[in-house]
Amino acid sequence: MKIVEVSPRDGLQNETATVPTAAKVAFVDALSSSGVSEIEVSAFVSPRKVPQLGDAAEVFQRIRRENQVTYSALVPNQHGLDRAFAAGVDKVSVFTAASETFNRRNINTSIAGSLKRLQPVVKRALQAGIPVRGYLSTAFWCAFEGKIAPEAAVAVAERLVGIGVDEVSISDTIGKATPSEVARLLDRLLPKIPADRIAVHFHDTYGRGVVNTLTSWEYGIRIFDASVGGIGGCPFAPGATGNVATEAVVAALVGKGAAVPVDIEKLNRASRILDAFLRDDRRSQPDKDSQACAVCEHFTGNGCCQRGVAS
């Protein structure tokens, strides 16, 4: 089970407020101790396009790294990879989409153009021993083209694997997928790409992020992207709201009996670091009453933590 915390990248890229670099560093450091496996720290994209993440190099330089956490970044091209290498990333995420129109709006090229651009990026990263994730945006719906056929999404996912990515993150960019649409896509995808190379990335526009996560879990998916406080969204996908909240994903998976070694109270503490900077309509607020142990007020995901007292 891997929880990939995308809030420092997907969350902060979509905020109108500029969060100071020092606060981002404190936020990532707080997330590092929460038990999440991977943190997408920032993006080495054009700072003109996404000014909120223009300090990516400085954030990487200043964070305190924990051995058990993978620190990754989004890269769109060779220049982004150069910057990511210089920052000492553990992993990179490249990105394309199942929708031609969204791709053009997001990265100024077609699907084919993006794969051509990304192929040498993936090759160089792998040669350097850096694992690569490939995001497949608009896997279900597109803000411009509407419903995306599952076959079209599967075809692009296979092309991502074809250029060498280790893992594909199936992304519901505008948060519109239903559980049956998730099931339809996974029915077609799993015979082609094994579950252990698939992540899911749900935005929560219509409140279906958690149920879509659980549907994917029932299909054997074990890599889940999420964002504390449910912040997130793509500036180039009108109508998209935040990612599904990490605390909600962890609680839901634990409720299903999954072992998720993530401490919700520590997630909440990290989330509160952003309180002073973000608009106050974040989708998910820390739930102070949530399943915390009555004795130590600490929640690890499986009842109580250190003192063994059930919540």
Per-residue contact flags (x/-) with ligand HMG for residues 183 to 202, judged by CB under 6 A: ------------------x-
Does residue number 205 form part of the binding site for ligand HMG (CB under 6 A)? no
Q: Total number of residues binding ligand HMG (CB under 6 A)?
A: 28
Of positions 35, 80, 286, 301, contacts ligand HMG by CB under 6 A:
80
Place of tokens 């995306």: 148
CA distance from start to end of the chain: 22
Does residue number 137 form part of the binding site for ligand HMG (CB under 6 A)? yes
Of positions 7, 34, 72, 77, contacts ligand HMG by CB under 6 A:
77
∠ CA 260-10-198, rounded to 5°: 50
Question: What separation in angstroms does the CA of 170 have from each of 23, 139, 140, 212, 279?
Answer: 30, 6, 9, 12, 28
Does residue number 225 form part of the binding site for Mg ion (CB under 5 A)? no
Compare residues 10 and 167 and give the one whose CB is closer to Mg ion: 10
The answer to whether the CB of 94 falls within 8 A of the CB of 81 is no
Contacts of 146 (CB under 8 A, 6+ apart): none
Does residue number 10 form part of the binding site for Mg ion (CB under 5 A)? yes
Ramachandran assignment for 257, one of left (phi > 0), alpha (psi -120 to 50 degrees), beta (any other): left
Compare residues 158 and 275 and give the one whose CB is closer to ligand HMG: 158
Does residue number 108 form part of the binding site for ligand HMG (CB under 6 A)? yes
Residue 123 touches which member of ligand HMG, Mg ion, none, C-beta under 5-8 Å by kind: none
- Dig out the tokens for 135 from the structure: 């995001």
Q: Total number of residues binding Mg ion (CB under 5 A)?
A: 1
- Dig out the tokens for 71 from the structure: 């620190």
Compare residues 96 and 300 and give the one whose CB is closer to ligand HMG: 96
Does residue number 176 form part of the binding site for ligand HMG (CB under 6 A)? no
Interface segment toward ligand HMG; rule CB under 6 A; list 102-110, 123-131, 179-187, 215-223? 102-110
Compare residues 242 and 301 and give the one whose CB is closer to ligand HMG: 242
Contacts of 18 (CB under 8 A, 6+ apart): 51, 52, 277
* H/E stretch holding 135: strand 132-137
Compare residues 43 and 186 and give the one whose CB is closer to Mg ion: 43
Does residue number 60 form part of the binding site for ligand HMG (CB under 6 A)? no
Interface segment toward ligand HMG; rule CB under 6 A; list 69-77, 151-159, 264-272, 292-300? 69-77
Distance CA 94, CA 262 (A): 26
Active site (catalytic) residues: 234
Distance CA 18, CA 20 (A): 6
- Dig out the tokens for 44 from the structure: 């080495």
The residues binding ligand HMG (CB under 6 A) are: 10, 13, 43-50, 74, 76-77, 79-80, 83, 95, 106-108, 135, 137, 171, 173, 201, 203, 234, 236
